Chains A and B, each alone.
Chain A
Amino acid sequence: MIRLEHISLQRGSFSLDDINLDVQSGRYYFLMGPSGAGKTLILEIIAGLKDPCSGQVYMNGTDITGTRAEDRNIGFVYQDYSLFPHYSVAKNVAFGMKMQGKSPSDQDKKVRELLQQFGIAHLAGRSPQALSGGEKQRVALARALAINPSVLLLDEPFAALDLVSREECMQGLRDLHRDNGITILQVSHSRDEVYTLADEVALIDHGSILQTGRPTDVFSHPKTRRAAVIAGTENILEGVVRSKAGGLNSIDVQGVTIAGEGTYPPGSTVVLCIRAGDIAIHTGNEAPDYHDNIIEGIVASQIITDYTCTLTVEGPLPMKVTIPRKSREQTVFQNGHAVLLSFSRNHVLVLPAPTMTDQ
């Protein structure tokens, strides 16, 4: 469907380096990375709004690198939705059809259909300034879909929304993708959005793609330290392999020995990635015998959300632990209390230490 081959672009001190991407037809694909990683630039190159210095953009096997933006038939929704402020909602949605030379009656019919589909028919005559964030997003989507695009590019479409609108819009986009089967390429830095919507994700940082794959694979098995950081791995530690036996590494991390699945030779410097949700926390001196790794610590602080509680535990190894909110209400962890942390060796991802280029 969309394929980027060796795309490079220099913009001042920032550069996209040898970007290769393959988005299959009908997939919901995410580009995930921190601000300034080059995600929007990649979307703009695909849309034809920026010319790459080198490399090719293919759509359905055809090289469209030199094709003008207006001839690519690609829908684009920016983070701020970029509705035309001098047009009503209906005129915004009709804009693309007007540019395509569709008759006014065809425009009206399609506008009515789309506004109905997105549940915003009552807003047809409104000015964009009078809309809420969620309404603006639906108008922007309706406008982009009005030209029957081959692919939809979404640049952080939930960034400007409140929590309730965000969840509604995520649901709306999931339904849209399911019902229309349209290929969507979305930029985000939210793991939740990727888990909820994505078929595939590419982690991007400093203008390079670090890793691609299914969200669960990428988030559970980041291949580099940087990918682990972007994937949101809460506990990333560095250590030295002490021994190797039967697919198991014993690793020394600041004097604490941690067992993890790995086959690195003794003496190797490695990176350990442990998800906060994979760590169990216990009060008192009860040492669970079902986990390979047990660490002592003291609760330093807690961040409580609707459903989870993330505790920062200090000790020989500073760790973050996320537990369901219900557990916290059942078992009270006070700041300053001594606790035991335990986790299984198969929840310890052992990666090679980053090279200078990885960093």
Chain B
Amino acid sequence: MEKLPKTVNRGSFDKSILGFWLIGGLLVLFIVLAILSVAVPELGNPGHLAGVITDPSVLLTLGITMIAGLNAVAILVLVGTPLAYALARSTFPGKGLVESIIDLPLILPHTVAGLMVYLLFMSKGILGAPLGNVGIIFEDAYPGIVVAMVFVAIPYYVNTVREGFETVPVRLENVARTLGASRFRAFWHVVLPLSSRHIYYGALLAWGRAIGEFAAVIMIAYFPMVISTLIYYRFATGGLSEAMSVALVMIVICGAIFVLFRLLLKKKGGHDDQA
């Protein structure tokens, strides 16, 4: 009797992909080991960890970091979303140049990014001087943290959201317009809802990038401290164990936020794939 070919049980693990997992899994292992190297010593000394968690200066720094990150994302959503849409729907000579300019913060050394932000927003800078005249100070001030965060997070937000807009067929907008929607209303009622997953994901990436920034932030605003500045400060002044406690707090908070965000996105569902 002829032997029947093996059928693939869709519910089971596809063994043919095991080789890819074995190689690629090394990266996951790399990250897990890095987390454990911080978490294991700290969890072995819960008293010290509790002291750090309840330290008012740590809590204040955490608060400043999170809120500055949210402010940076808010600015990117307001300004970066129109830019992403314009890039997704336009072709013009020099578009590649504009895209390269947007990508620049991705490849610049963070200290260079910080230097650029500092030169722009220092008290004698092109933007810093006039804004200083109306009372908005950037050097060693909260606005300085936000602009540094915005600068480094621009490509993360704009590129992700632009990809989302590009997945929405132009024909859907065209139909909306023939049905009486202006360009903006077609964008608002059709493109935006269909790109929501990319917008949320872009915001999350930008936020993660923003709150993790160190070099660009300290160039313009060493104070008030953000969490990365505090970790460096504790490491420089109190040694490894002081820095590790704050680092673990940051890992737990960021990890929780990312997991929560993914769960919410999964629950919400998305229309990006249906467009």
Contact = CB atoms under 8 A, between A and B. Distances in A.
Interface of A: 44, 47-49, 68-70, 72-76, 78, 80, 82, 84-86, 95-96, 99-100, 129, 143-144, 146-147
A95 B177 CA distance: 11
**Best-surrounded residue of B169, B171, B175 (most CB of chain A within 10 A):** B175
A74 B178 CA distance: 6
B185 interface: yes
Given A70-B182, A99-B180, A147-B179, A84 B172 contact: yes
Interface centre among A75, A86, A96 (most CB of B within 10 A): A86
A72 B174 CA distance: 13
In the A-B complex, list the 9 residue pairs whose CB atoms are closest, starting with the nearest: A96-B179, A99-B180, A85-B274, A69-B177, A86-B271, A76-B178, A82-B171, A99-B181, A82-B175
B47 to A, nearest CB: 52
A44 B177 CA distance: 11
Contact of B175 (A68, A72, A78, A86): A78
Given A49-B178, A99-B176, 8 more contacts: A69-B178, A74-B178, A82-B169, A86-B193, A96-B180, A99-B179, A99-B185, A129-B274
B187 to A, nearest CB: 12
21 contacts: A47-B174, A48-B178, A49-B174, A68-B177, A69-B177, A70-B178, A72-B178, A74-B178, A82-B169, A84-B172, A84-B175, A84-B190, A85-B274, A85-B275, A86-B271, A95-B189, A96-B180, A99-B176, A99-B179, A99-B181, A144-B178
Nearest to A71: B180
A227 B51 CA distance: 87
A47 B274 contact: no
Nearest to B171: A82
Interface residues of B, number: 20
Interface in B181-210: 181-182, 185, 189-190, 193-194
Interface string B248-275: 0000000000000000000000010011
A147 B274 CA distance: 25
Nearest to A155: B171
Contacts of B177: 48-49, 68-70
A211 B274 CA distance: 40
